Amino acid sequence: MKILAIDGNSIISRAFYGIRPLTTAEGVPTNAIYGFLSTYFKTCDEESPDAAVVCWDLKSPTYRHMEYAAYKAGRRPTPPELLSQIPLMKELLAAMGVQCCELEGYEADDLLGTISRICEECPDCNCVILTGDRDSFQLAGPSTRIKLVTTKAGRPVTTDYTPDVIQETFGVTPAQMIDVKALMGDASDNIPGVAGVGEKTALSLVQKYGGIQDIYEKLDTLDIRDTLRKKLEDGRESAVMSRRLAEIDREAPLSFTPQAAIDLPANPEKLRELLRRLELRSFLTKPQLFRDSAASAPQPSAALPAARLIPDTDALAAISDTLRASQETIPLLCQENLDWIAFSVGGKAVVVRRADFSPETYTAFLSTVFSEKVSKTGHDIKGLLVRLLEQKLPFGGFAFDSAIAAYLCNPATGKYELPRVAATYLDAELPPAAYASDHAFTPLSDNQAELSSIASHLSAIARLRETLSAKLESLGMTKLMFDMELPLTEVLADMQVIGFRVDKARLDEYGRELAERIAYLEHAIYEAAGEPFNLNSPKQLGEILFEKLGLPAGKKTKSGYSTDIEALHRVEPLHPIAGLLIEYRQLAKLKSTYTDGLSKVISPIDGRIHSSFHQLSTATGRISSTEPNMQNIPVRQERGAELRRMFVAEDGWLLVDADYSQIELRILAHISNDPGMKAAFAAGGDIHRMTAASVEGVPPEEVTPQMRSRAKAVNFGLVYGMSDFTLAANLGITRASARAYIQNYFAMFPGVRRYMEEIKARAKEEGSVATLSGRRRPLPEIRSTNYNVRSFGERVALNTPIQGTAADIIKLAMVAVYRRLRRENLRARLILQVHDELIVEAPREEAEYVKNLLTEEMQNAMPLDVALVADAAVGEDWYSAKG
């Protein structure tokens, strides 16, 4: 048999510090519990133990404290967010049927040692100790293996340590690890060791001469330096005591037997209730949780009657009539290219396949299903809408999307696949999506798995509509769902299908120009360096800059000198090679990412780029795009901005571009209700110049470019949590000057300060923040006792209502523009959104009208106390239309 013995405090602490803060809707911290369970299940999958036992420390003193009063003195107190999760973790483990051990006067290490000793004395019993503490290495033996959890590249990894591995790695036996610690001490446990002896020296001594007793018995004859001999002599008493403190007691009076741990019963119903209460529903699908009561585990929805195939035109006509007459909202699933469609109506799931009917019959049926008269709910329907648009099929009647609803309920998870959402909100374990296989509904398949999984997934989609609708209502986001996010899905699908035309000939020419300049720069850099080298090797570049050329080096890492852009700017005034390298990097990035990258994604069919737009990927509510990322086309650098000349309108058409003017500052003025800031916008002047005039105490006409720059930095920075240190660094002034400027700013705009204080307090009280549209973002970080984590939470609390509201406004504008273009039967079409900017492609004769339409809809997207302003322009390419 195999027993998994877990160092509870070690594993839950690692989880707490390694996983971002998570809380329930009521604000109960759960990140440590989540991480502990994740590690537990991963280890169980790897080890397949017969039972697990978790050992915990108690707050009461141990015998080590009695011997050495300073034992573990100086340790930072455990954060209350972690302390509060430990009893919940124990309660969960008890419900799982996992034994917990704790004993007054002893540490968890002593219990682990005692358990491993009991297992060693039990025939055919092995013990695996899961811990993040190397102290347990001394316990490794013939039937005891240490599984050490560490972090590499930000990810937890486990490494197995047997006696052989320890001997090979450290050159000592497991038992001798006690002596090593006794000599070197341990700052975390405040074990003193021998002053002046570190790990390297301690290991060397034990490797050569044995343990503490052997070393001190032969101290006078050891072949060591006299200075080390004196340190050892002076530290003799400390070393002996430190060994007693470091040695794990394997004879603790613990009541434990392997068989009792195996036989410990679980309480599935209590476990399910706890996981639901802690909002850790994804763990409900873990079969390991219900080893003693499989019937109590979440039952797969596949137990439903399988979907049935519609066999002929008569049956198809009948199901079409049922659809037209139905008043229910039917759940829907479709194959990627619409080769089959599945839905449930009247409690029965059916599948209709393209291959079973004539093209005309199947197309007519699709027109029925996707008509406005048939109410439908789906999961992540944008891909379906894209296919319908591509196949030029009319559609309407989409009443709900459970993926969008799950995103609104918790925008921080980033993953909204149907099985995950069903596990979270329905406690349902869905069977694998057999219908998504390449072999689904082929002669090689008997169709049973496909039809069964379709039925269960349709049932989940229908149930999610009810559950998530109630959840949205309770969170105050029903209007957000139906007035903004659901209609936006159609807008994004339409934009994706239309795409943006690219002048490939001009793009290729631009790429050649970049290549020529890059080649020149390479030659010039080699000339300046005095030799050729690998320009993309930081190591070689560091040697050239800071060794051969003797430029002052900045920070140096293990891999060599830092040669990032900051380092290059620092030495730019000292040598021409730095400026050449900066330009080389900029142009190389432009060529590889944009000119070469864009060329690869231009459609050979229509010469347009069809970027994929995503509305479920950001916690702020902003839209993102991929393949390519249209949100990231350069605009600030002159040479990069040239790329926008490559994006053109169709022949006979023009691009109409409109961009919100200082939308986030206008939202800040509205939210803060600051009279001075509102008045500045009402005056219609330059807000940064007017701010500078107010703060600096000069007339607007006397504001210098430097004054305006300072005001702009503060206007945009303070509400995002910018400190005086950051402002000073950005403006090149002293911290005292930056602090004084900020104080003057708040004196002029007290409403902004009041808003900043109130929003942070409200976020801490509610555990979340919201936009003006009601979009809510959970913010457990703001309650953290960790300064850095809490500071991040405060920054997010400050900017989310502003940045998120800006995202909501542009979405509302997109929906309004899209609908109005269609309502007025215009040929113009919305083709792109980039941050606060919308682009419409319009026939030349419609362009001026569309310019006014676009401006009007954007400026009226949301009523604010401060007017929204959108600046619009028209041009044949993006660069000229941007104005």
342 contacts 384 by C-beta, under 8 angstroms: no
Positive or negative, the CA dihedral 113, 116, 118, 120 is: negative
Phi-psi region of 27 (alpha: psi -120 to 50; beta: other; left: phi over 0): left
Mode of pairing for the β-strands spanning 51-55 and 99-101: parallel
Q: What is the DSSP letter of 502?
A: B
Q: Which residues contact 481 (CB under 8 A, 6 or more apart)?
A: 404, 405, 408, 472
Nearest to 423 by CA among 229, 272, 614, 312: 272
Name the burial class of residue 76, with classes exposed (0-12), middle (13-18) and buried (19+) by CB atoms within 10 angstroms of its CB: exposed
pLDDT given for residue 59 in this prediction? 84
Cα–Cα separations (whole angstroms), residue 466 to 341, 399, 583: 22, 12, 56
| Long-range pairs, 724-732, Cβ under 8 A, ≥24 | none
Tell me how many degrees the CA angle 131-136-139 measures, rounded to the nearest 5: 130
480 contacts 775 by C-beta, under 8 angstroms: yes
pLDDT given for residue 557 in this prediction? 64
pLDDT given for residue 299 in this prediction? 43
Q: Which residues contact 344 (CB under 8 A, 6 or more apart)?
A: 307, 330, 331, 350, 455, 458, 459, 462
Q: What is the mean pLDDT of each run of 10 residues along the chain (883 residues)?
A: 94 90 79 93 92 92 83 81 92 94 92 94 92 93 93 79 94 93 88 90 92 89 89 90 91 92 91 87 71 44 77 94 94 93 93 94 95 95 95 93 95 85 84 87 81 95 96 95 97 97 95 95 95 91 91 74 87 93 93 92 95 91 91 78 92 96 93 90 83 83 85 80 80 83 86 92 91 91 80 89 95 97 97 95 97 97 95 95 77
pLDDT given for residue 883 in this prediction? 57
Bridge partners, 7 (sequence order): 55
Bridge partners, 668 (sequence order): none
CB atoms near residue 651 (< 10 Å): 8
339 contacts 383 by C-beta, under 8 angstroms: no
Cα dihedral 95/97/98/103 (nearest 10): 80
pLDDT given for residue 300 in this prediction? 44
70 contacts 315 by C-beta, under 8 angstroms: no
For residue 489, which amino acid is it? T
Q: What SS3 state is found at 159?
A: strand
Percentages of the chain per state (helix, strand, coil), in multiples of 5: 55, 15, 30
804 contacts 619 by C-beta, under 8 angstroms: no
pLDDT given for residue 21 in this prediction? 83
pLDDT given for residue 850 in this prediction? 97
Q: How far apart are CA 226 and CA 211, in angstroms?
A: 19
Q: Which residues contact 141 (CB under 8 A, 6 or more apart)?
A: 116, 120, 163, 174
| Long-range pairs, 829-832, Cβ under 8 A, ≥24 | 829/494, 829/498, 830/491, 830/494, 830/495, 831/495, 831/498, 831/499, 831/500, 832/495, 832/500, 832/630
CB atoms near residue 815 (< 10 Å): 21
CB atoms near residue 139 (< 10 Å): 27
pLDDT given for residue 559 in this prediction? 67
Q: How far apart are CA 177 and CA 247, in angstroms?
A: 9
Name the burial class of residue 731, with classes exposed (0-12), middle (13-18) and buried (19+) by CB atoms within 10 angstroms of its CB: middle
The answer to whether the predicted template modeling score (pTM) of the entire model surpasses 0.85 is no
Tell me how many degrees the CA angle 567-573-576 measures, rounded to the nearest 5: 90
Continuous segment of H or E residues that includes residue 357 = none
pLDDT given for residue 272 in this prediction? 87
Cα–Cα separations (whole angstroms), residue 809 to 574, 614, 837: 47, 17, 11
55 contacts 6 by C-beta, under 8 angstroms: yes
Q: How far apart are CA 282 and CA 620, in angstroms?
A: 24
pLDDT given for residue 488 in this prediction? 97
287 contacts 299 by C-beta, under 8 angstroms: no
Please write down the HEC assignment for all residues of 598-612: HHHCECCCCCEECCE
pLDDT given for residue 462 in this prediction? 96
Q: Which two tokens stand for residue 544?
A: 């050239």
Nearest to 770 by CA among 732, 812, 792, 800: 800
Q: What is the DSSP letter of 133?
A: -
Chain mean position to CA 440: 33
Nearest to 574 by CA among 520, 522, 528, 519: 528
615 contacts 488 by C-beta, under 8 angstroms: yes
Cα–Cα separations (whole angstroms), residue 211 to 140, 207, 249: 17, 9, 18
pLDDT given for residue 389 in this prediction? 95
pLDDT given for residue 292 in this prediction? 47
